Amino acid sequence: MSTDDDLLTGGAPVPAAAGPTAVATAAEADSSKRTAGPGRRARVLPYLLIAPSIAAFALLLGYPLYLNVRISFQKLDLAELVQRLTVFRGLANYRAIFSDSFFWSVTLRTVLFTAACVGLTMVLGTLIALLLDRLGKTMRLLLSVSLVLAWAMPALTATVVWQWLFDTQFGVVNWLLTRLGGDFTNHSWFATGLSTFAIIVAIVVWQAIPFVAFTLYAGLTAIPRELYDAIRVDGAGAWRTFRSLIVPVLRPLFMITAFLSIIWDFKLFTQIWLVRQGGPNRQTITLGIYAYQEGIASGHFGKAAAISMVMVLLLLTALVYYIRTMLRTQEDV
């Protein structure tokens, strides 16, 4: 078993969403006990069992993906769509988006947005995990419940509620900041791109922290108390304890949660769209919103498909890197 598996089975509340990747690797280790049925039927049976899911994946994901690649090489606007024309034009869509400075600023913005969300999520998530580890029983329970509430909120309602909190006239945040000494009476948070983005990042991070915090906290509880004592006898302070004990132990969990956060935040749509539909002045448009606006809203399907391909390829790069690292840590065992 690899180290991250042991951590996750530490008995602490392993978050549900950690399942697909984190826990799965744990399950990998003990799947050797499969029954080896005799005869030909037993050899064919597993293939029959996975066949429906493979067919579904091929039809409902493989085909659309193939189509997306194809469309990205076509001139496909509303006119061609209505007349059912197939006009291939090579790399023209890609050339068009790559020579468009707006596309580059959207791409850069998406990357920066993702970096801001993931960075804040990881730092604050770690702090909350450490806090959970140090709080007394009652406080820990209360904080856990609060975290679960924030985590469980649908992204949609979370966004609506945060908009209400930051409402210009009657928002609690403006009231609070004014009470604390600033003058935020009738301050509009959604007037500039940067400020709007800040709110979106806050919403995303608020909802993403619980998953990271719970996962890391599960890892923390697996560290034996004796190790803390030993390192303290060595004369280590809080920071060195963190650096040379906690970080190495939690590294696999940091990897998993950071990577999942990258994936989730990079392709974000709902929150950004609901806050200002990419506004004000198209300043909060990210790649996901851009593909939607070019494709569905403006009817430039070929161009939108090319934008989507850039998204897929960027994420795929991250994915390949991640899976390689995952496989390598498993081989280490």
Restricting to residues 157-196, which ones interact with other proteins according to CB under 8 A? 157-158, 160-165, 167, 169-170, 172, 175
> Of 237, 296, 298, 321, which one interacts with other proteins (CB under 8 A)?
296
Binding pattern for the stretch 192-231 against other proteins, x by CB under 8 A and - elsewhere: --------------x--xx---------------------
Q: Are 223 and 130 contacting, i.e. CB atoms less than 8 angstroms apart? A: no
Question: Cis peptide leading into 210, omega within 30 of 0?
Answer: no
Binding pattern for the stretch 30-59 against other proteins, x by CB under 8 A and - elsewhere: xxxxxxxx----xx-xxx-xx-xxx-xx--
Query: Is the torsion defined by CA of 100, 102, 103, 109 positive or negative?
Result: positive
In angstroms, give the least distance from the CB of 24 to other proteins. Answer: 5
Between 79 and 172, CB nearer to other proteins: 172
Query: Is the torsion defined by CA of 127, 125, 313, 330 positive or negative?
Result: positive
> Of 2, 23, 245, 330, which one interacts with other proteins (CB under 8 A)?
23
Note the helical H segments in 58-183: 63-71, 78-83, 92-98, 101-134, 137-152, 155-165, 172-179
Binding pattern for the stretch 246-265 against other proteins, x by CB under 8 A and - elsewhere: --------------x--x--
Told to check if 279 binds other proteins by CB under 8 A, we report no
Q: Which residues contact 100 (CB under 8 A, 6 or more apart)?
A: none
* Cα 248 from Cα 229, distance rounded (Å): 17
What are the φ/ψ torsions at residue 192 (nearest 5 degrees)? -115, 155
Told to check if 99 binds other proteins by CB under 8 A, we report no
Told to check if 285 binds other proteins by CB under 8 A, we report no
* Cα 246 from Cα 219, distance rounded (Å): 9
Q: Which of residues 57-86 bind other proteins (CB under 8 A)?
A: 57, 60-61, 63-65, 67-68, 71, 81
Q: Which of residues 112-141 bind other proteins (CB under 8 A)?
A: 128, 131, 134-136, 139-140
The token pair at 288 is 């996901």
Q: Which of 53, 124, 129, 104 is nearest to 287 (CA)?
A: 104
The token pair at 304 is 């939108």
Q: Determine the size of the site formed for other proteins (CB under 8 A).
A: 106
Told to check if 151 binds other proteins by CB under 8 A, we report yes
In angstroms, give the least distance from the CB of 95 to other proteins. Answer: 19
